[in-house]
Amino acid sequence: MHGLIAPHGGTLVNRLAEGARAQELARDAATMQRINLTQKQSCDLELITNGGYSPLTGFMGKADFESVCKEMKLKSGRTWSIPILLSVLKGCEPKVGQRVALYAPNGTLQAVMLVEEVFEHEKKLEIPSVFRTEDPAHPGAAMVQAEGEVCLAGPVESVTVCVDPKGPEAFLSQRLTPAQVRAEFQKRGWKRIVAFQTRNPIHRAHEYVCKCAQEICDGLLIHPLVGETKKGDIAADVRMEAIGALVAKYFNPATTMVSVLPAAMRYAGPREAIHHAIMRKNYGCSHFIVGRDHAGVGNYYGTYDAQKIFDEVDEKDLGIQPLMFEHTGYSKSYGGMVSGKSFPKIEGDIINLSGTAVRDLLFKGERPPVEFSRPEVADVLIAAAKSGRLFVQ
């Protein structure tokens, strides 16, 4: 990995069993207690397996869980902001020392886990710590509240690296592991790589910050999240189609790469910004774009809270460099994309569209203004809206 940033903790974890060992695990799993994973747990397991969650080698124990909630650190002192838990219903928990078989939502055997610890899922600690709210309407908080009351901890051995609820073929050509992404960076001779996280189609403001970041780096990794998202978000396949159309015409292929991140959204705002940065560090990125209301939802977080939280963690341990961007948009006075840093704020000057306004236009078959969305992106979204596949159901 010479020339690239080191993974979080120094070593890129790989929990995938291969060959005879994978066959042995698959045979043994038939005699083990079966644990049916939620989509979120399956996403987490994939990232434990492929090293996206390095240095984790399994689901967290109580000491790590409490330390992450209270201090944003693993018990080792390593920066970490989101608990990675395997919770089950009370009364269904196995005994310590037992091995269990972990099955993805589509019924595929994903991994075998040695249960080293069983502990109470302290939701009253996790929810306010991670989400900064206890409002049951918060999608991330609601997701945790619906989870099991008991957590299982221990190392995993996976028999497959990639399991998607819609089938393992989903985004397979772009579903690269951290090791594969790092190899591609090295092949291209990139050392300074900036990652862009998105769970939405890329509009003109996103495009602007990506290109600003490209100017100071060797390459840009557009890394859309394709794991579990909430109802009403743009569906992952539509987003990927829109990103493909945009990149093909408006980005330089020599300095741009697209891969997908099989993570579940938490909608945890500031804490999730740190989480997203750590994952991109493991994928080999040296820089990470943090814009307005990163990973936010509703009005739970301040506009720039996700940027301010980086002052609360050890910069040296985090390793990856956040690139902070203010709210950007098309200025009618300037005649181009600007932020508050690059052009004076003038009342009514920036073309802004609410999510509701964009949605209404798409369903009418009308394009948002070209100052907001590239026509090629709008075409994809309009077609998806007309066919009823625009949103997660």
Distances (CA, A) of 256 to 231, 252, 352: 30, 6, 27
Q: Is 299 a catalytic residue?
A: no
Please write down the long-range contacts of 212-218, taking CB distance under 8 Å and 24 or more positions apart.
212/325, 213/287, 213/289, 213/323, 214/252, 214/255, 214/256, 216/192, 216/287, 217/190, 217/192, 217/193, 217/286, 217/287, 218/188, 218/189, 218/190, 218/191, 218/192, 218/193, 218/255
Query: What is the rounded distance in angstroms from the CA atom of residue 258 to the CA atom of residue 173?
Result: 10
One-letter amino acid at 4 equals L
Q: Is 34 a catalytic residue?
A: no
- Selecting among 99, 188, 200, 292, the annotated active-site residue is 200
Count CB-CB contacts under 10 A for residue 14: 17
Q: Which residues of 191-225 are buried (b: 16+ CB within 10 A; e: fewer)?
A: bbbbbbbbbebbbbbbbbbbbbbbeebebbbbbbb
Q: Which residues of 247-258 are buried (b: 16+ CB within 10 A; e: fewer)?
A: beebbeeebbbb
- Selecting among 132, 199, 271, 280, the annotated active-site residue is 199
Catalytic residue positions? 199-200
